[in-house]
Amino acid sequence: QHDLTHCTPTPADIHCFARLRFELTKIFANEAERRVKLTDILREENIIPPGANLNPGAIGNYTTDGDLRTTARGCYGDFLYFLKEIQNEIHTGNAEPYMEAIHYWWAHVRDQIEKQKPEVRDRLNYPAILLVHPGSHLSVAVAAFTDVMNVETLATIPLHVHSTNVSEVLAGERFIYALRTTLQRLHDFYGAANNLPPRQVEYPFRNYIVQNEAKLAFEYIRQVPDKRVFHASLEDGTPLFIKFSRRYGEVTHHAAHDAGLAPRLLSVENVHGWYVVAMEDLSKDYITLAEISDDFYLSLLPEVHEAVCKLHARGHVHGDIRPVNILVKKPDVETAKPRIVFVDWDWSGESGKVCYPHSMNPEIKRSESAFAGAEIKPSHDLDMVSICYNRDQLVL
């Protein structure tokens, strides 16, 4: 996904995409002719790993339109890491090609799960690239297995695009670069499947943080429901929260912690466009305002207002002041820790310098001037505190 938007295509990648545009926008008599032409181009332009076979392959009773597989010493069978599904034109064929590609990949994964030895099976997510080619379009998806199937389309590339449509042409050239390099990495990955280190296969993410240039490994414990946030533990038993986000107000989070308004931030790393955020886990001593009983809830809101003003006085805004993002110290906790702290600093930043993201939930009530792309203002934070008073109307 990162390469699709950030890579620099080589001259060979540029040439390959130009050839795809020229050859695959022609009219083919049947699906087989289109399949052969795509296979020939990918092979001749060295997009697939050297020596790999992209011919149709069998998966149980099914036959793909072409796939790539490799073997590893001491492992059962072969590992499928690339699958293409062809449709001569968009309106032809009996099956939806995207769903057909997913079906074939999942059939292969099921076969592996049933027959592969545990020390290999329990360390694999069976990652694969699914390429769908209906008519003059290419669509690429990635697939992986955790405790469920995960398949996502990353890009759809039109081949019927004029050479002056520079942005689309560049997107296609980056697609070729990403496909070529990723296929080689997957080929090498599966080739070493018998020697993979132990890992939590249900959490196929970064499993360490970096502090003072040292890697600190951690273990995932459980996911916070419906969020990209995880309870985790360092090797010494220290609990922490791990969060994945597309943006993060690191400077503001540090400033808030210095003011006693946020958990301690342990590390923030940008990994291929995702911020991997690690912070202390306060769940032993705190609960969210959303969990507080009604009779105590309202009495806390003046303190929340005061805490927000304290943040603003330091020149920062939060952007998402809701009960689920406000932590309240449990009544039986006798520590010097502050009574009110805030979490979810994704949108935060210096006042006057940050805007709301494009992905805002329209069901959450906010100030009328708080909308996607608008500047996040201190008054918006205070408006959200006021909205908290109408608890029965809140969308958490």
Query: Rounded to 10 degrees, what is the CA torsion of 107, 187, 182, 38?
Result: -70
What does the domain layout of the chain look like in residue ranges? 3-195, 218-280, 286-393
Half-sphere exposure (Cβ direction) of 309: Cα atoms closer than 13 Å? 6
Tokens found for residue 58: 């069998």
> What is residue 10's predicted lDDT score, i.e. its pLDDT?
97
Check if the beta carbon of residue 215 is closer than 8 Å to that of residue 269. no
In CATH terms, the superfamily for domain 218-280 is: Phosphorylase Kinase; domain 1 (3.30.200.20)
Q: Is the pLDDT at 62 greater than 70, yes or no?
A: yes
CA-CA distance, 164 to 167, in Å (whole number)? Answer: 9
Of the given ranges (210-214, 232-236, 326-330), which has the lowest mean pLDDT? Answer: 210-214
Percent of the chain at pLDDT > 70 equals: 98
CA distance 153 to 172: 15
132, 141 contact by CB (below 8 A): yes
For 286-393, CATH number? 1.10.510.10
Give yes or no for residue 251 having a pLDDT over 80: yes
pLDDT more than 90, % of the chain: 73
Cβ neighbours, 10 Å, residue 381 = 25
The three-state secondary structure class of 94 is coil
Q: What is the mean pLDDT of residues 296-317?
A: 96
Q: Tell me, what DSSP letter sits at residue 375?
A: B
